[in-house]
């Protein structure tokens, strides 16, 4: 069963909303993302979908709302004239769900609704809900095959994750605060669903369920299958006990796959503790060998994300163990308000769309304020694989308006990658470190020290280049590295020399362990005036090291400009020629800088 049609008129900020929800070529639901400013009705739309699901579930289950088993069950969503659009006298809402063979309907009308002013399509659909009285001002009702409703809710995952969802942190003293569990672990009673439609906290229940999944992977199949043994007459064979050992292990492997995506560690796995362990029975072993004491020790964002998708598996698994083994077979409708809440940009852009994709037969209807989440969903599903509706009109939009966020995010990721590379380089060694503008600078300095008899200096320090991904070094990267190092001096104790080329004109600066120096200019070389190549004799710069690059002027005239091939020149000087006399200016102008750096 999936939501296929939604008509809402005169509710809150929504004057009229008439939308259809799409399926892909395989018949699976496309994720629906609701966007818009605060106060445009995104959560209101989710509340109507949730209310429709609750009213359908109430036809077969007695634990959907409080008091239902005493025959005075309340509506999940309040029926109130205060929800009516202020410029109208009444409101009307109609939702249609369908599966392969059946349709299911929900209607709510408030205030003075003149049914005659609606189209024949709407009027005909209202007639399908027999429990609705056309003459009553306020009414609500649903219609649908009760057997199909029972099967859908029992075997599928159906729930709403509100924006108020949260998990209790591991550091909180529960005895110091009021702690009301969301739902308790009780035995199944006929007619009860045991799957709350609103889920704010789920960690405790998910952890109890995980123990069952772990035990499933340890089932003694030979013992269970001996049904004809007299001593085992009380052992009832589970209808799914024909699963192989490998299949039963898939349940926990799927949960671990979910966990790996959430914490972005492909080698993470769940481990079983002793029963009296301080933090509980289930811990996490990370790829680097670190042990996370429990699932409660995940960050707030990680815990929310893990428990949200673990709940989907648990809900489907409660009636059929096969669902935890094959996630692609789980069906249902999942509503999530502010799906991007509490999540880092990488989780929004990369991880969250991947998690949604694990459940192709689940209809996700979510709200979001994150352009990065939308861009990530398009990247994962393609532009045609998702629906984005702008509230309150329901206008279908694309991610084109958010492309600038994509560029900004890519720049951010490159910057973050650069910062991580700088930090790693500084922390991975203890020798004094010389950072240069480019790869050829490193080659020249090492060759100069070798040929000029300064091998001892090479053994005392490390020389490397600094550069961002996709760029061949440059003083821009040294400037960025300087900012990182100077702003975090307490974090870095290693001595670092940032060595700039002569053309930058960089002034000398000294910090605690960070030193800024600029190579003096070789005034005898009037051909190579930039870069470390300025230190070489001018006669080395032969025509063979220059390439003519074709260009076209603004007025269409073709011309060429010479471009110096730095790599070719470096290979010739350092690998083929290797003449000590070529490096005399290094000895005069550059090596003294390194010697003084080591003396500091």
3 state SS for 255-298? HHHHHHHHHCCCCCEEEECCCCCCCCCEEEECCCCCEECCHHHC
CA distance 303 to 506: 48
pLDDT value of residue 70: 65
pLDDT value of residue 539: 95
Strands 387-390 and 32-35: parallel
Residue-number span of the structural domain to which 314 is assigned: 167-328
Question: Do 285 and 388 lie in a common domain?
Answer: no
Asked if residues 36 and 390 have their Cβ atoms less than 8 Å apart, the reply is yes
Question: Do 523 and 379 lie in a common domain?
Answer: no
Lay out the sheet containing 291-292: strands in order across.
Answer: 269-272, 282-285, 291-292
Question: Do 214 and 127 lie in a common domain?
Answer: no
Q: Counting Cβ atoms within 10 Å, is residue 571 exposed (0-12), middle (13-18) or buried (19+)?
A: middle
Flag whether 445 is in a domain: yes
Question: Do 432 and 467 lie in a common domain?
Answer: yes
Total number of domains in the chain: 3
Flag whether 161 is in a domain: no
Pair of tokens at residue 295: 């699932």
Question: Do 447 and 366 lie in a common domain?
Answer: no
Instruction: Please confirm whether the linkage preceding 171 is cis (ω < 30° from 0).
Output: no
Flag whether 404 is in a domain: no
Asked if residues 21 and 4 have their Cβ atoms less than 8 Å apart, the reply is yes
pLDDT value of residue 123: 79
Question: Do 581 and 455 lie in a common domain?
Answer: yes
Flag whether 459 is in a domain: yes
Question: Do 353 and 324 lie in a common domain?
Answer: no
CA distances for 571 relative to 442, 566, 575, angstroms: 12, 9, 5
Question: Do 279 and 149 lie in a common domain?
Answer: no
Question: Do 146 and 175 lie in a common domain?
Answer: no
Question: Do 381 and 500 lie in a common domain?
Answer: no
Question: Do 172 and 318 lie in a common domain?
Answer: yes
Q: Which of 490, 536, 538 is nearest to 514 (CA)?
A: 490
Q: CA 341, 347, 350, 352: dihedral to nearest 10 degrees? A: -50
Flag whether 25 is in a domain: yes
> ∠ CA(509), CA(515), CA(516), 5° rounding?
55
- Domain boundary, last residue among 309, 328, 347: 328
Question: Do 247 and 373 lie in a common domain?
Answer: no
Q: Counting Cβ atoms within 10 Å, is residue 477 exposed (0-12), middle (13-18) or buried (19+)?
A: buried
pLDDT value of residue 594: 96
CA distance 138 to 108: 8
> ∠ CA(475), CA(542), CA(439), 5° rounding?
30
The DSSP bridge partners found for residue 272 are: 282
pLDDT value of residue 224: 56
Mean pLDDT by 10 residues, the chain (600 residues): 94 91 94 93 94 93 79 71 66 91 91 78 79 74 92 94 84 64 48 88 89 79 56 47 70 91 92 77 89 88 93 91 88 95 89 96 95 92 93 90 75 80 89 93 96 93 74 74 89 92 93 94 94 96 93 87 94 96 97 94
- Domain boundary, last residue among 328, 344, 378: 328
The DSSP bridge partners found for residue 439 are: none
pLDDT value of residue 232: 45
Instruction: Map tokens 């998702």 to a residue.
Output: 386
């Amino acid at each position: 069963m999936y939501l296929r049609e939604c008509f809402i008129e005169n509710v809150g900020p929504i004057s009229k909303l008439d939308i259809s929800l799409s399926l892909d070529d395989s018949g699976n639901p496309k994720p629906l993302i609701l966007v818009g400013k605060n106060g445009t009705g995104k959560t209101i739309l989710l509340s109507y979908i949730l209310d429709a699901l609750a009213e359908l579930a109430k036809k077969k289950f007695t634990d959907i709302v409080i008091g239902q088993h005493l025959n005075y069950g309340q509506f999940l969503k309040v029926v109130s004239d205060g929800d009516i659009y202020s410029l109208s006298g009444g409101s009307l809402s109609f939702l249609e769900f369908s599966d392969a063979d059946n349709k299911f309907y929900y209607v709510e009308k408030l205030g003075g609704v003149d049914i005659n002013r609606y189209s024949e399509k709407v009027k005909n659909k209202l007639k399908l809900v027999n429990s609705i009285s056309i003459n009553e001002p306020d009414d609500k009702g649903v219609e649908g095959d009760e057997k199909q409703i029972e099967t859908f809710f029992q075997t599928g995952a159906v729930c709403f994750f509100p924006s108020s969802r949260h998990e209790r942190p591991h550091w909180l003293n529960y005895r110091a605060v009021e702690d009301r569990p969301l739902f308790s672990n009780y035995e199944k009673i006929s007619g009860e669903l045991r799957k709350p439609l609103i889920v704010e906290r789920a960690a405790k229940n998910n952890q109890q369920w995980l123990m069952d999944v772990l035990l499933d992977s340890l089932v003694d199949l030979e013992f269970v299958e001996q049904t004809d043994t007299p001593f085992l007459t009380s052992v009832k064979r589970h209808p799914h006990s024909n699963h192989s050992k490998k299949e039963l292990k898939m349940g926990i492997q799927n949960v671990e796959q979910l966990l790996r995506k959430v914490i972005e560690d492909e080698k993470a796995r769940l481990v079983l503790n002793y029963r009296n362990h301080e933090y509980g029975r289930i811990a996490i072993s990370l790829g680097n060998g670190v042990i996370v004491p429990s699932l409660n020790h995940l960050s707030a964002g990680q815990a929310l994300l893990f428990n949200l998708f673990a709940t989907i598996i648990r809900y489907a698994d409660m009636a059929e163990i096969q669902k935890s083994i094959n996630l692609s077979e789980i069906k249902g409708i999942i509503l999530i308000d502010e799906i991007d809440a509490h999540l880092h940009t990488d989780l929004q852009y990369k991880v969250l769309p991947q998690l949604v994709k694990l459940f192709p037969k689940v209809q996700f209807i979510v709200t979001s304020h994150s352009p990065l989440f939308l861009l990530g969903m398009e990247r994962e599903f393609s532009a045609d694989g998702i629906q984005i509706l702008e509230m309150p009109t329901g206008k279908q939009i694309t991610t084109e308006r958010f492309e600038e966020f994509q560029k900004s995010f890519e720049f951010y990721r490159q910057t973050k990658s650069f910062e991580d590379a700088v930090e790693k380089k500084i922390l991975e060694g203890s020798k004094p470190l010389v950072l240069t503008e480019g790869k050829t600078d490193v080659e020249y300095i090492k060759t100069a020290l070798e040929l000029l008899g300064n091998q001892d200096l090479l053994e005392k320090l490390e020389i490397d280049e600094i550069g961002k991904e996709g760029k061949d070094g440059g003083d821009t990267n040294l400037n960025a590295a300087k900012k990182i190092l100077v702003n975090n001096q307490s974090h870095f104790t290693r001595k670092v020399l940032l060595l700039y080329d002569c053309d930058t004109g960089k002034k000398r600066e000294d910090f605690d362990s960070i030193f800024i120096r600029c190579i003096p200019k070789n005034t005898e070389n009037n051909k190579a005036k930039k870069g470390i190549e300025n230190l070489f004799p001018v006669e080395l710069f032969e025509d063979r090291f220059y390439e003519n690059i074709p260009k076209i002027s603004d007025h269409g005239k073709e011309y060429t400009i010479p471009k110096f091939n730095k790599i070719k020149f470096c290979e010739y000087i350092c690998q083929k020629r290797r003449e000590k006399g070529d490096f005399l200016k290094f000895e005069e102008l550059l090596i003294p800088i390194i010697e003084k750096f080591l003396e500091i």
